[in-house]
A and B are shown apart, each in its own frame.
Chain A
């Protein structure tokens, strides 16, 4: 099956720093989504981004489907950005998740 790899697995940053999270996938996909899981376990959809670039406030995402990767940018990090970030890809009606990047933002 398709492999979804996220990097880095863990990231610790000071409040105000910028970060880039990466998602690589092993085969062509129908779409890609980014999620944030907060410390209470709630999963929130951030972006639906099969290709191109989208921005939402301090967050933006870029997917280059032909090169099989996506990037999530977080600028001016806040402590509320802490949690785990997942990318998920759709192939053959199955939505497959990567193992996530755990982000800690220190005050």
Chain B
């Protein structure tokens, strides 16, 4: 019973490097989300996908791109990592945008 799976769990990047965070859900959910969590800031929405084939900006989209590869998978890409992108990243999904959301376990990213 995997739920929402994120990879990698930990990553260290150098400034300017690129990487992709992968997220997959096995609950047949339509909506998927990417959040970042920084100390004292709560969770801030980066991008979301209300349904397969659509993506939209959230509160803090700058420096990120996303791809809704299919119904199961929603990836987050950092094209040129910056130290300000050091954070914990959470992927989440829900059966539709108005329903209970379920989170992955998080990905700890450090940019040096």
A31 contacts the other chain (Cβ, under 8 Å)?
A: yes
A94 B102 Cβ-Cβ under 8 A: no
Within 8 A of A (CB), among B40-66: 40-45, 48, 50, 56, 58-59
A83 to chain B, nearest CB (A): 13
Question: How many residues of A sit at the interface, in one of the four size bands?
Answer: 20 to 34
For B94, what are the chain A residues with a Cβ–Cβ distance below 8 Å?
Answer: 95
Distance, CA A95 to CA B94, complexed state (A): 11
A-B contacts counted at CB < 8 A amount to: 55
| Contact A48-B48, Cβ < 8 Å, known A97-B42, A97-B43, A99-B41 | no
Contact residues in B for A94 (Cβ distance below 8 Å)? 45, 48, 56, 58-59
B106 touches A31 (CB 8 A): no
A90 on interface, CB distance cutoff 8 Å: yes
Q: Which of A45-93 contact B (CB under 8 A)?
A: 45, 48, 86, 88, 90, 93
Residues of A within 8 A of B48 (CB): 93-95
| Cα–Cα, bound, A6→B105 (Å) | 23
Known contacts A48-B100, A93-B56, A94-B45; is-contact A41 B40 (Cβ 8 Å): no
CB distance from A34 to the nearest CB of B (A): 11
- State whether the Cβ of B90 lies closer than 8 Å to any Cβ in chain A: yes
Q: Which residue of A lies closest to B56 (CB)?
A: A93
7 shortest interchain CB distances as A-B pairs: A99-B42, A43-B103, A97-B43, A93-B97, A93-B50, A48-B100, A97-B42
